[in-house]
Structure 1
Amino acid sequence: MMLSRKQLVFLLAGMLMIFSPVWAYAHVKWFTHVAPVKEPIEHILSPLFMGIALLVALVLAVLTQLLPKLMHLPLAKRLDEALAGYRKWSRYILKYGTALALLVQILSGTVFAPEFRVTHTGEMLWVWITIAVLVIPHHAATKVAAALLLALFLYVTSQAGLFHMLDYGFYLAIIWVLFIGKTRLEEWGFPTLYLGTGLSLCWVAVEKWVYPFMTVDIIQTHHVPTFGFPPDMFIVLAAYIEFVVGYLLVVGILNRLLAVVVTILFILTTTIFGYTEVVGHLMIHIILLIFIIEGVSFYYPPIAMHKTRLDQMVFVFLNFIFVLATFLLLYYRFAS
């Protein structure tokens, strides 16, 4: 029995949700106190790891040819038209959503992530001032708030270290979007947000490969379902899912559908990890909401530089392998 095109769209979305381990998007450092121990690089580059890398690269290459056809479906067109009416609110969502995320964080005694405790009054006061300035409905106040947020990010970086803060590089993209609003550079804001969020997801995914013992401890402590996979295989698969999501956001593929799926998965992880998950991922939820609204309306993805189908497929295949290798080697080189 042949499926209609509409049914194929729903099937694709359903498969993304069913076969994506819910836990893939949980941040390892938030939920374990096990000391980080690097896995030997020869163990990371196992036949399983390299086999999945080649399979994912091939699937992504084929996906570039399927997606344009999906986007011409009547359902996809109607959805795009419906969401287009909300694009004028995207910057307000980011501005006030950032204020809300900071508020939730400071009320829990943290800033940027659950692992960064606010330890003195001056830092707490700085966060409250940043929130207060963010909610002022004027673009000049938004720029001041962006500067305050940048100073706060640099301070936390000086305490936690640059390598650690790379997990949260998307905050620099948020700061950039807030700062260039109402300027000639404004159109570069959301593409930077896509890039920053995608790169952050890729970077965090590599952590699961380099420090698998931390991940195993989370699985055992929180009774995380592995869907029948051995823990070591499950970790590799979960990290690949997170890495692929980040990569697709960077190259401009499947952004709106990905944002919906990842948002649902983040909500589901809350049932396992509770309030800590809410505090840590609220800002990401806000960014994903913007991605759902915006789609790729403003984004000129790198794949668009190649005109023929074969060129696009070869580009995505080789580029994924290159990006994967670069992230893994950089992370492994500077990981403690």
Structure 2
Amino acid sequence: MKSPRKTFFSSLPTLALALPLTLFATNEASAHVKWFCAYDVSGQPRGLENVLCLNFEWLVGLSLVCLMFGCLAEGTPLGTALMNSLDRVLSRIRTDTELLVRATVGFFFVSLWGLGGIILTPELKTNLEWISWLQLGLAGCLIWRRTMPITGLGIVFLFGYAVSQYGVFHLADYPVFLGVAAYLILRGLDLTPYGIRALDIVRWTAAVTLMWASVEKWAYPHWTDPLIAANPAMTMGASPELFMQAAGVIEFTLAFALVWTPLVRRTSALILAGVFVSAIFEFGKIDAIGHSGIIVVLLGIAADDVRVKVRVRDTVLAPAWYAASLAGFLLLYYLGHAAIYGGLAELPVI
């Protein structure tokens, strides 16, 4: 019988390849699983003692190496050259970010009206016909800049209504909608409260959305089993468990990078946008409609040319902030689930 130590070290080559390989195979994993597979939000998530295994820790370590490489490149001639290249290539997107957001969100709401029976995302079903017509009206308000705030307020209303129907824990998957609503309201009214840009607000909510979704991959890896069974090649030889661990770690790291320094977040936004776009070819129009909003937001983040002076502590403290974010989201997810669905007396021991 092999010892655990031997078993682990024999898997090191697979772990070393897991992150870069999973990045290319993660289009299936990045599809929102609730749109395509059976799920049970109230079901017991996988125990933290099983999530925080040795493989998981090594995957996090490899991700930190990649994050630190980006941090160290910031402010160097290489980093400056990359930033200048991004500025040139994405200049048109930067100039027309607001127009692209309005057009994409308009397409999103018109598509929901056409599908019917949906509140904001494909798995949030409703029998109320007026919801579809409201969403069509919100699309119409995006034609004029002065009526953009109405669409933003409408999104907030629909989000609140969805919370009343499906619960706050389910809608914790989608804070990016509130970010888009804030963007439309602030841009329509030409406001920058406390000097905070509308694009920064939507960037933070996108990061929170994706970090929460990555924890869900670790808590409920079995939700994705039908996708893996239908396309076993997506794991590239890794076990389904290792693949889902790596997919979650990649998503969490890229999401965390969205709130870090300019080069790191712009590169992360481009990678994430590419992943979401590639998933559309696999999953079709439902995925295209559902992810259209976050894709255009990510492109806007990638095109953002605002630069700040990068301090040494931004690099030195990156691992600590990453670890704090990882621990915070894991605890928030598990404590939130236990508080809402019961089980506070049976919380797993870390």
What TM-score comes out, normalization by structure 1 length? 0.84
Aligned to 1:158: 164
Alpha-carbon displacement from aligned partner over 1:293-324 (angstroms, at most 9, x marks no partner): 22xx23759xx4xx33xx33331011101100
8 Å CA contact 2:31–2:279 kept in 1: the answer is: yes
- Equivalence for 2:266: 256
> 1:12 — aligned with what?
none
Q: Kindly indicate whether the alpha-carbon contact (under 8 Å) linking 2:269 and 2:302 is maintained by their aligned counterparts in 1.
A: yes
Q: Distance in 1 between matches of 2:89 and 2:247?
A: 33
Contact in 2 for aligned 1:28/1:208 (Cα 8 Å): no
Match for residue 268 of structure 1 among 278, 293, 296: 278
Give 1:24's aligned residue.
Answer: 29
Q: Which runs of 5+ in 2 are unaligned?
A: 1-19, 342-350
User: Contact 2:138/2:154 (CA < 8 Å) preserved in 1?
Assistant: yes
CA contact (8 A) 1:191 1:298 kept: no
Superposed CA offset, 1:66-107 (max 9, x none): 23333322x652441353354332112212221111112222
1:29 aligned partner, one-letter code = K
Change (3 A) 1:18 1:164: closer
Paired position in structure 2 for 1:117 = 125
From the superposition, tell whether residues 317 and 179 of structure 1 become closer, same or farther in structure 2 (CA, over 3 Å): same
For 2:135 and 2:325, the matched residues in 1 are separated by 35
Correspondent of 2:70 among 37, 46, 63: 63
Would the aligned equivalents of 2:112 and 2:135 in 1 still touch at CA under 8 Å?
no
How far off is 1:118 after superposition?
3.5
The structural deviation recorded for 1:222 is 4.7
> In structure 2, what is the Cα distance between the partners aligned to 1:334 and 1:224?
35
Residue 102 of structure 2 is aligned with which of 95, 113, 116? 95
Q: Does structure 1 retain, via aligned residues, the 8 Å contact 2:21–2:236?
A: no
Alignment of 1:211-250 (within 5 A): 211-223=220-232, 225-250=234-259
Output the CA distance in 2 between the equivalents of 1:316 and 1:123: 43
| Post-superposition CA distance 1:33-59 (Å, at most 9, x none) | 154441122111111112222332343
Asked if the contact 1:173/1:196 (under 8 Å) is kept, the reply is: yes
Normalized against structure 2, the TM-score is what? 0.81
1:285 equivalent among 277, 295, 298: 295
- How much is the aligned-residue C-alpha RMSD, in angstroms? 2.4
Q: 1:33 is paired with a residue of what secondary structure? A: coil
Is 1:318 equivalent to 2:324 in the alignment?
Answer: no
Question: Counterparts of 2:247 and 2:161 in 1: how far apart (Å)?
Answer: 32
CA distance 1:248–1:325, shift in 2 (3 Å): same
Distance 1:127 1:205 in 2: 29
**Any conservation in 1 of the 2:29–2:224 contact (CA below 8 Å)?**
no
In 2, Cα distance between the equivalents of 1:115 and 1:33?
Answer: 10
Which residue is equivalent to 1:131? 139
Q: Distance in 2 between matches of 1:300 and 1:158?
A: 41
- Which deviates more from structure 2 when the two are superposed, residues 154-163 or residues 26-35? 26-35
Worse-matched range after superposition: 123-132 or 253-262: 253-262
3-state SS, counterpart of residue 37 of structure 2: coil
Identity %: 24
Deviations 1:178-230 (A, max 9, x none): 11124341752011111111111111111010011112233114546101101
Q: Which stretch shifts more, 267-276 or 188-197?
A: 267-276
Of residues 196-205 and 97-106 in structure 1, the stretch that sits farther from structure 2 once superposed is 97-106
Q: Which amino acid aligns with 2:27?
A: V
1:104 pairs with one of 111, 123, 133: 111
The residue aligned with 1:48 is 55
> Which of these residues, 136, 140, 153, is aligned with residue 147 of structure 1?
153
- One-letter identity of the residue aligned with 1:266: F
Runs of 5+ unmatched residues, structure 1: 1-14
Contact 1:34/1:217, CA 8 A, preserved across alignment = no
Answer yes or no: is 1:193 the counterpart of 2:202: yes
Q: 1:177 aligns with which of 150, 172, 183?
A: 183
Distance in 2 separating the partners of 1:98 and 1:59: 33
What is aligned with 1:5?
none
Instruction: Look up the SS of the partner of 2:172 in the other structure.
Output: helix
**Aligned length in residues:** 311
Deviates more, 1:93-102 or 1:57-66: 57-66
